[in-house]
Amino acid sequence: MKSYSFRLQKLLEMREKKEEQSKLEFKKAENEKRFEEEKLFKLKDNYSKYSNINLNDSVIEKKIRHNYLRSLNYCINETSENLDKKVDIVEKKREELKKCQIEKKTVEILKEKDKLAFEKEQKMIEQKLNDELALYAYMRNQN
């Protein structure tokens, strides 16, 4: 009985590697997005913390606070834009990962079907051999 070998094994291995690479890229994009979300949260938290105007502050303190709040607002807007870009990148990476998973699964299904056909063929060969042996034994017993 011969052993099973899949003709497209190299293709399957390449697709598995491609899927793993895609998973890593997706994870990296997710981490970058999470980092931007945390950064935005901290900036908004600082803005809300320092946005309360104290009437007892001097003019210089008010001016410094105002400049700081403007700077925070600019950073919040910039970080929001970066976060939107990161979200788009994550979605693209997710679609790439889905595509890679589908491609790999397609080859895996082909492999499963091919292996089942091989096993069925081997069982038929074995059954044919058993039938022939039984026939020879019957013929010998008849003589």
Instruction: Express the helix, strand and coil content of the chain in percent, nearest 5 each.
Output: 90, 0, 10
Continuous segment of H or E residues that includes residue 53: none
CATH of residue 59: 1.10.287.1700
**Overall average pLDDT of the 129-136 stretch:** 92
pLDDT surpassing 90 at residue 52: no
Residues 117, 67: Cα–Cα separation, whole Å: 74
User: Has residue 74 been placed in a domain?
Assistant: yes
User: Has residue 106 been placed in a domain?
Assistant: yes
User: Has residue 38 been placed in a domain?
Assistant: yes
Continuous segment of H or E residues that includes residue 54: none
63-92 pLDDT, tens per residue?
999 999 999 999 999 999 999 999 999 999
Q: Are 21 and 99 in contact (CB under 8 A)?
A: no
pLDDT surpassing 90 at residue 116: yes
User: Has residue 15 been placed in a domain?
Assistant: yes
Position of tokens 């019957």?
Answer: 138
Predicted confidence band of residue 143 (pLDDT cuts 50, 70, 90): low
* Cα 86 to chain centroid, rounded: 16
User: Has residue 125 been placed in a domain?
Assistant: no
Pick 16 or 54 by higher pLDDT: 16
Number of domains in the chain: 1
User: Has residue 100 been placed in a domain?
Assistant: yes
pTM higher than 0.85: no
Predicted confidence band of residue 56 (pLDDT cuts 50, 70, 90): confident
Residues 41, 7: Cα–Cα separation, whole Å: 53
User: Has residue 107 been placed in a domain?
Assistant: yes
Boundaries of domain holding 81? 9-114
* Cα 14 to chain centroid, rounded: 16
Instruction: Tell me the helices (H) and strands (E) count for the chain, helix number first.
Output: 2, 0
User: Has residue 57 been placed in a domain?
Assistant: yes
